[in-house]
C-alpha cells in the first residue's frame, strides 16, 4: 500500500540539515519530494566528507555520508536560480506542489520573485515553510546560523557537559546536530498541521520557523525548573536534575546507564542490589529525598554496583523492571537484537554503491506502511524527467 503522504508533492529548496531532514521525513511517508540543487554544485553537505560512499569497486565516490543521511527518497533537479529560466522552473514546480521547504537567508527568495506571496498567487493552497537561524523578524533576522552556535545561544550547552569544577567539565554540544534535527522535526510537524488545516479552509499557509526558537523550546523541563524556582540550571554531567538515581555508574567491567523513574522502581532497584532497606530509609524513600541526599545515595550505589558486570546488572535490572542499559558505541547499536528486530537499518539500491545502508524512519504504520527503496539521489539525477513532466526542454 502507498505511504500516508503518497498524494503530496514537496518542493525542497533547502540544503544542509534542518530542511532536508524535514524533506526526508515527508519522503519516507511517501511524498514526492523534488530537491532543487545549485547547478554544478548541489547541496553543501555533498562535500562534507570524509567519509565518502564507496562504489562497487571500493573506490571513494563524491557522495558524503553527511549528505546521504538526510536526502533519502528524493528526486534531485539541478537549477540555476540566478537565471530567469531556473526561477521559471521553480515557479512551475511550486504551482504543482503542496509544500515548499526553504532555508535561504531572509528575503533572498522574495528578491528572486520566489517568496510566499509570489508563489501563492499561482497556488493559493501552497504551504510554504521558511527555516532560518533566527526567524523572519527581529534584530538578527538577517544573520546566518549553524547548529553548533545555536546550541550555545539557545542554552543547551549550559546544561550539557560536566560541572565546571569537575575533571573535563565545561559546556559541551550534543553529539549530533540536535537543533538542526529538531528544527526539521518541527518543520515536518508544521507542514502536516497546515495540510490538515487546508482540508478545512482550502487555504495554504506560511510557516516562519527559527532554529533559535526551536532551541529555546527544547529547554523543556530545564526552562520550567528555572521559571518556577528562579534558579539558573547548571551542568550536572549525566545526573538528572529532577529524578534520581539517574546517572552513569561504574561497574566491574565498564559503565551502565541507570534510569530509575519512580519510587516503585527504586524499591525494586534496592532489592536487586541487595539493599532493600534503602527503600524505607527516609533519606531515600521518595524521589524528592533522593534528589536532596544524592551524594550519600551515590556513594552507596557506586560501592554496590562494583560487584557485577554490565551484562550481569542489565539482565538483573531488566528482570525486575528497572530501566538500565549499556552505553553502546554506534557499531554496537546496530548489533542490538531489539534494533535488528525493528529493522532500523536497511539496504537500499544505490546507482554508484550497489547497496547503501540507511537508518530508516522509526514510524510504523499498520495500514500505510513506509517503503525505503529510493536512495539519496545523485546531483541532478532526475532533472530530465522532472523537466519533461513540466513540458520543458533540459536546457537549464
Q: Per-residue pLDDT tens for 353-372? A: 789 999 999 999 999 999 99
> Region 171-193: what's the mean pLDDT?
97
Q: Which residues is 36 bridged to in the sheet? A: 77
Which residues in the chain are classed under CATH 3.30.1540.10? 246-335
> Region 35-63: what's the mean pLDDT?
94
Q: Which is higher by pLDDT, 396 or 84?
A: 84
Kindly state the DSSP code that residue 47 receives in the 8-state scheme. G
Q: How far apart are CA 94 and CA 199, in angstroms?
A: 19
Determine contact, residues 370/30, Cβ cutoff 8 Å: yes
Determine contact, residues 160/132, Cβ cutoff 8 Å: no
Q: How far apart are CA 303 and CA 13, in angstroms?
A: 56
Binned at pLDDT 50, 70 and 90, residue 395 comes out as: low
Q: Which fold has domain 246-335?
A: formyl-coa transferase, domain 3 (3.30.1540)
Q: How far apart are the first and last CA of the chain?
A: 36
Confidence at residue 372, expressed as pLDDT on a 0 to 100 scale: 95
Burial class from Cβ neighbours inside 10 Å (0-12, 13-18, 19+) for residue 42 reads buried
Confidence at residue 208, expressed as pLDDT on a 0 to 100 scale: 98
Q: Which residues is 128 bridged to in the sheet? A: 100, 206
Confidence at residue 275, expressed as pLDDT on a 0 to 100 scale: 96
Determine how many CB atoms are found less than 10 A away from the CB of residue 11.
26
Catalytic annotation, pick one of 98, 180, 205, 308: 180
Helices 178-201, 18-28: crossing angle, 10 deg rounding: 50
Binned at pLDDT 50, 70 and 90, residue 394 comes out as: low
Q: How far apart are CA 80 and CA 167, in angstroms?
A: 51
Residue 272 above 70 pLDDT? Answer: yes
Kindly state the DSSP code that residue 376 receives in the 8-state scheme. P
The stretches of the chain forming alpha helices (DSSP H) are 18-28, 65-68, 84-95, 108-111, 116-120, 147-153, 178-201, 211-217, 220-229, 263-272, 287-292, 294-305, 310-320, 330-335, 337-341, 383-389
Q: How far apart are CA 264 and CA 12, in angstroms?
A: 49
Residue 86 above 90 pLDDT? Answer: yes
- pTM value > 0.85: yes
Q: Which of 317, 310, 234 has its CA nearest to residue 274?
A: 317
Confidence at residue 228, expressed as pLDDT on a 0 to 100 scale: 98
**For the segment 135-157, what is each residue's pLDDT rounded down to a tens digit?**
999 999 999 999 999 999 999 99
Determine contact, residues 153/139, Cβ cutoff 8 Å: no
> Region 27-45: what's the mean pLDDT?
97
Residue by residue, DSSP assigns 303-372 as: HHHTTS-HHHHHHHHHHHT--EEE---HHHHHH-HHHHHTT-EEEEEETTTEEEEEE------SSS----
**For the segment 282-295, what is each residue's pLDDT rounded down to a tens digit?**
999 999 999 999 99
To the query of whether residue 253 is one of the catalytic residues in this protein, the response is no
Percentage of the chain beyond pLDDT 70 is 99
Confidence at residue 106, expressed as pLDDT on a 0 to 100 scale: 96
Q: Which of 208, 308, 215, 321 has its CA nearest to residue 260?
A: 321
Percentage of the chain beyond pLDDT 90 is 95
Q: Which of 170, 152, 153 has its CA nearest to residue 161?
A: 170
Determine how many CB atoms are found less than 10 A away from the CB of residue 97.
25
Residue 396 above 60 pLDDT? Answer: no
Instruction: State whether CATH 3.40.50.10540 applies to domain 9-217+365-389.
Output: yes
Long-range CB contact pairs, 113-118, < 8 A, 24+: 113/87, 114/13, 114/81, 114/87, 114/90, 116/206, 118/91
Determine how many CB atoms are found less than 10 A away from the CB of residue 209.
24
The rounded mean pLDDT for the chain is 96
Which residues in the chain are classed under CATH 3.40.50.10540? 9-217+365-389
Amino acid at each position: 500500500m502507498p505511504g500516508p503522504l503518497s498524494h503530496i508533492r514537496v518542493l525542497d529548496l533547502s540544503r544542509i540539515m534542518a530542511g532536508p531532514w524535514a524533506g526526508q521525513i515527508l519522503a519516507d511517508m511517501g511524498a514526492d519530494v523534488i530537491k532543487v540543487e545549485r547547478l554544478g554544485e548541489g547541496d553543501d553537505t555533498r562535500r562534507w566528507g570524509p567519509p565518502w560512499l564507496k562504489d562497487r569497486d571500493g573506490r571513494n565516490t563524491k557522495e558524503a555520508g553527511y549528505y546521504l543521511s538526510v536526502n533519502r527518497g528524493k528526486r534531485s533537479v539541478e537549477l540555476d536560480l540566478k537565471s530567469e529560466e531556473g526561477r521559471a522552473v521553480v515557479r512551475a514546480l511550486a504551482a504543482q506542489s503542496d509544500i515548499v521547504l526553504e532555508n535561504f537567508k531572509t528575503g533572498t527568495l522574495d528578491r528572486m520573485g520566489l517568496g510566499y506571496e509570489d508563489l501563492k498567487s499561482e497556488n493559493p493552497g501552497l504551504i510554504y515553510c521558511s527555516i532560518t537561524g533566527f526567524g523572519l523578524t527581529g534584530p538578527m533576522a538577517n544573520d546566518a546560523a549553524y547548529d553548533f552556535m545555536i546550541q550555545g545561544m539557545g542554552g543547551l550547552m549550559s546544561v550539557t557537559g560536566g560541572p565546571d569544577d569537575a575533571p573535563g567539565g565545561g559546556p559541551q554540544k550534543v553529539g549530533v546536530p540536535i537543533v538542526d534535527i529538531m528544527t526539521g522535526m518541527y518543520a515536518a510537524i508544521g507542514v502536516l498541521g497546515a495540510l490538515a488545516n487546508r482540508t478545512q479552509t482550502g487555504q495554504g499557509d506560511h510557516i516562519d520557523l527559527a532554529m533559535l526558537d526551536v532551541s529555546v523550546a527544547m529547554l523543556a523541563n530545564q526552562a520550567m525548573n528555572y521559571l518556577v524556582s528562579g534558579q539558573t540550571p547548571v551542568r550536572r554531567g549525566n545526573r538528572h536534575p529532577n529524578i534520581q538515581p539517574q546517572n552513569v555508574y561504574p561497574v566491574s567491567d565498564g559503565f551502565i546507564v541507570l534510569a530509575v523513574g519512580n519510587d516503585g522502581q527504586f524499591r525494586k532497584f534496592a532489592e536487586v542490589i541487595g539493599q532493600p532497606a534503602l527503600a524505607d530509609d527516609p533519606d531515600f524513600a521518595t524521589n524528592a529525598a533522593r534528589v536532596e541526599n544524592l551524594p550519600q545515595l551515590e556513594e552507596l550505589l557506586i560501592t554496590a554496583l562494583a560487584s557485577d558486570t554490565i551484562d550481569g546488572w542489565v539482565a538483573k535490572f531488566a528482570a525486575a523492571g528497572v530501566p538500565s542499559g549499556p552505553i553502546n558505541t554506534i557499531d554496537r547499536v546496530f548489533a542490538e537484537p531489539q534494533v535488528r528486530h525493528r529493522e532500523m537499518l536497511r539496504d537500499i539500491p544505490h546507482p554508484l554503491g550497489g547497496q547503501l545502508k540507511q537508518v530508516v524512519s522509526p514510524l510504523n504504520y499498520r495500514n500505510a506502511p513506509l517503503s525505503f527503496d529510493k536512495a539519496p539521489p545523485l546531483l541532478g539525477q532526475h532533472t530530465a524527467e522532472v523537466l519533461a513532466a513540466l513540458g520543458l526542454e533540459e536546457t537549464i
